[in-house]
Structure 1
């Protein structure tokens, strides 16, 4: 442990003042800058943590939650790269050329990343794990991190071939090296924190810790899988009901449990996928009792591996928290934990393929969670990753900063939030005002809000709307009303989320005027965001 407290806050943070958003008083700005840790899971379902209703062992995150704000209505963008673009820039991905991805094009020249905002305020920035912001491909040179370990592929947890440190390619990992991605991501994060403690202890830091778990392929250490073997033979309906009851008892949800949708086919599976799997896989969330005994064993084992991946991630997060404590930095560090999208129903095979004879969860296997278990992991909501129904876009959010959140007993927050709020929130607590001028261009205002007012008062953050658009899925939330559809050729569905977050009672026919108004708002935002993504230099040439 360090001899002196590591970047400790003064006893009182100071009054709140206006800094373009709800910033902390400038007189305390230098003394009060907290360290910031942003932890992102990959394809984690809304109910996949113990503190969000799960049976999976997540003691470190559960302990963190006991002194955190737990948000019940926080949203992502339904997919990996759009969410990560929003987290790094503060804008909807459509504004920064990240949904759809525009291959070969960089972020608009008015765009800054979070490290670029924080550096003038004295922060050092570190990244370890997934990146997936293709419009800023180099984490150090393009995004401004001081150090970065980037795992640039998603197909191999045990022997990745494409990974970099500080924008330089590292040798491919050999299977005999004992590498496991979740542990390696943590190792690099600890390396950067320890270096910071010895060489930059007077400076605040930002750590972006981006795990690739529990994204497919289902890969986990055998010992971790063994702890969950046979745990899921009772089936996805039983697990889902049990999680729902726990979520209700915690107070995180107040809606009925959504009905299963056995006719919704898992995305991504090609016509030869079942042949490649050589296993009793199913593209549909069929009733558990309709499965054969071999299918039940196969599906239960897949969920056991998913659980093991989350369990291991929690263990590794425990190592990071222990490091913060050893640096005497815990009290002066604002920690966020969330997921990039809902649990995934996808079923596909890529990378090195799948050997049906290999142990499930090993490097020679390539399996996906699938729609049955994804439905359970996204309890109590409908649909999955890619869709913008609640199951695809709802994420746990833990905000740990006990001295400043009033969360001594682990409070719940009903504040509606979105990943576009993370950058404004971080800049707020860091005392950074985002000037609009950058690279001889003018940035549009942030679409999100600082969540700082919600740290001490529920529902203190208000907004006009939240926009969703990914692939063929689109939606809009205004107050407690939401329109959503899974195909632009289909009519909007309308739901009252104050009573029906499970999206079961479509009110579109009963309130067509509301649907029309919300449709107009969605179109207005969609058009505005397309214009934001245009090249500023091109706008100048055309006199726009």
Structure 2
């Protein structure tokens, strides 16, 4: 592997005035939750996201970056560099694993590889990885376990110890609290550890349901979506075409596809304004249109507030004179969610929408619009479920401003990318156990130019939904359905199934999917997919 000195020399031939090799870059990875591909302005959205848009304008946007379609598998892939199924963090046929699965001892998280090289490691926000945070290599943590009420810290943990919430939480909002903690960590770092680089994992809950937002944020979007999801999709798609994000047509709405899980009692609680299918907007009643538009306004307010808080984080990096020498990544853990449910504290239909007493979910209509131009949603492995923005900002190491990177890439690529940038070689074993080869590739070459990083394949399996991408071909199937085949060069929207025209290609790719499944099962089977302590069942 090239040394940091050699790396900076090579890049410096192209881009002068880089930091010296002695200045190891800091790393900040910001992760949104349930945010759609087109929710950011720089990806065609209508929500005000000036801070993320500015990072994109001064850095790179990846157009074909993938997650795993679900929150906990994406976090496992991001932090380990393995497919979640390989490390017991998503289920495999006959082997179990999943949200309660426990990683193998060799499946270390990124901080364990950074700490020996002088890095301090911080975590602020959602965890959703097995085990506690500090033993996973972090020096400080806010573990935001309360994911059912954005207006209370009840149930959260600081450095793995339960929080005692303030008696008056009237000013508390989870998205703000994430960055309050991140800034506190960075201020302490500047005061006590300024000679060391840092890795900071900032994992927002927003805009995951329940749709909870500050009234003043909701007010800015209150009437922005009354024209409906059909118009919103068309407008976002037009902006995406202007931005040159991809060559495709806009996918058609699928009025027969609703939430991935059906909770009829929840629909009753939510009232006549709720609808669990993305029907043409004009077919909705006036009450349904108003209810749906209000939900989208709250979702937009949550994304807007997240961007505002990211602005505060950026300001802190500037105050430390560390923004130029910090690699900032931004992505989402899955596509926007079509789920509709009521849990945690329940839903009071008389309370102001978006307040703590309400429990609203975006649902499949506006979820489809947030995932423009793609099909399907979170949990599915069609493009709508697995496509995420990826912004990379690093003034000291990336000279390109506002450029697109078209290479297909995946969450499993983040660990090898960071290790490559830092010239860190992963150890061959951990506590005497060999560390198996990981599937990811370094994206570092794409920082300098728009080049394709060659993967043998990219692979998905989640709750029976399965897919594989080899080159520009993608084979995909929802649970229980036949394989569909798409040429993603011109059809990222997965509108033209070519399975009948290319049966041999289907056969070849299905065989490759099965080989990867078998290899994954073989690796996972070497250790039993132990389960973490079971959580109490949630009531509807």
Question: How does the TM-score come out when normalised to structure 2?
Answer: 0.92
Cα distance in 2, alignment partners of residues 223 and 464 from structure 1: 48
Verify the 8 A CA contact 1:10 1:32 in the aligned structure 2.
no
Q: Is the partner of 1:495 in helix, strand or coil?
A: strand
2:497 corresponds to 1:506: yes
Q: Pick from 369, 376, 385 the counterpart of residue 376 of structure 1.
A: 369
Is 1:139 matched up with 2:133? Answer: yes
Is residue 89–residue 100 contact of structure 2 (8 Å, CA) maintained in 1?
Answer: no
Deviation at residue 11 of structure 1 after TM alignment:
13
SS of 1:206's equivalent in the other structure is: strand
2:481 match: secondary structure: coil
Is 1:112 aligned to 2:103, yes or no? no
Q: 2:301 and 2:281 mapped to 1: Cα distance?
A: 22
CA distance in 2 between partners of 1:465 and 1:104 (Å): 27
Matched position secondary structure for 1:331: coil
Deviations 1:303-337 (A, max 9, x none): 00000000000000000000000000011000100
**Which residue matches 1:256?**
249
Q: How does 1:109-508 map to 2 (within 5 A)?
A: 109-134=105-130, 137-141=131-135, 143-172=136-165, 176-408=169-401, 410-487=402-479, 489-508=480-499
SS state of the match for residue 406, structure 2?
strand
Q: Deviations over 1:499-538 (max 9, x none)?
A: 1111111111111111111111111111111222234599
Specify the alignment match of 1:542 in structure 2. Answer: none
Partner of residue 79, structure 1: 70
Aligned length: 514
1:14 aligns with 2:9: yes
Deviation sequence 1:61-117 (CA, Å, 0-9, x none): 111111111011000000000000111111000001000245765311211110001
2:32 corresponds, among 41, 53, 70, to 41
Q: 1:59 is matched with which residue: 46, 50, 54?
A: 50
Cα distance in 1 for partners of 2:354, 2:158 equals 27
What secondary structure, in the 3-state scheme, does the structure 1 residue paired with 2:29 have? strand
Alpha-carbon offset, residue 268 of structure 1: 2.5
1:384 CA displacement: 0.5
Calculate the aligned-residue CA RMSD, in Å. Answer: 1.8
Secondary structure (helix, strand or coil) at the match of 2:251 reads coil
Mapped partners of 1:208, 1:477: distance in 2: 28
Partner Cα distance (1:343, 1:105) in 2: 24
Cα distance in 2, alignment partners of residues 272 and 490 from structure 1: 28
CA contact 1:159–1:173 (8 Å) conserved in 2? no
Which of the numbers 64, 71, 90 marks the counterpart of 2:81?
90
Task: Quote how far apart the aligned CAs of 1:401 are.
Answer: 1.1
Give yes or no for contact 1:108–1:535 (8 Å, CA) kept in 2: no
Q: Report the CA distance between 1:490 and its aligned residue.
A: 2.6
Q: Is the 8 A contact 1:29 1:430 kept in 2?
A: no
The whole-number CA distance in structure 2 between the counterparts of 1:361 and 1:173 is 22
Distance 1:537 1:51, change over 3 A: closer
What is the CA–CA distance in structure 2 between the aligned matches of 1:157 and 1:372, rounded to whole Å? 23
Unaligned runs of 5+ in 2: 12-18, 92-96, 530-540
The 1:531/1:57 distance shift into structure 2, 3 A limit, reads: same
The CA distance in 2 between the partners of 1:388 and 1:103, in whole Å, is 17
- Equivalent residue for 1:533? 524
Q: Is the 8 A contact 1:468 1:474 kept in 2?
A: yes
**Alpha-carbon separation, structure 2, partners of 1:338 and 1:283:** 27
Give the distance between the partners of 1:174 and 1:388, measured in 2 at CA. Answer: 43
Task: Report the 3-state secondary structure (helix = DSSP H, G, I; strand = E; otherwise coil) of the residue aligned with 1:358.
Answer: coil
Q: What CA distance in whole angstroms lies between the structure 1 residues aligned with 2:20 and 2:54? A: 30
Equivalent of 1:515, from 501, 506, 509? 506
SS of residue in 1 equivalent to 2:8: coil
Following the alignment from structure 1 to structure 2, what is the Cα–Cα distance between the partners of residues 284 and 334? 40
Between the aligned partners of 1:29 and 1:139, the Cα distance in structure 2 is 33
Aligned-pair CA distance for 1:402: 2.9
**Pairwise CA distance, 1:172:** 4.3
Gap regions ≥5 residues in structure 1: 1-8, 17-27, 539-544
Distance 2:6 2:72 in 1: 39
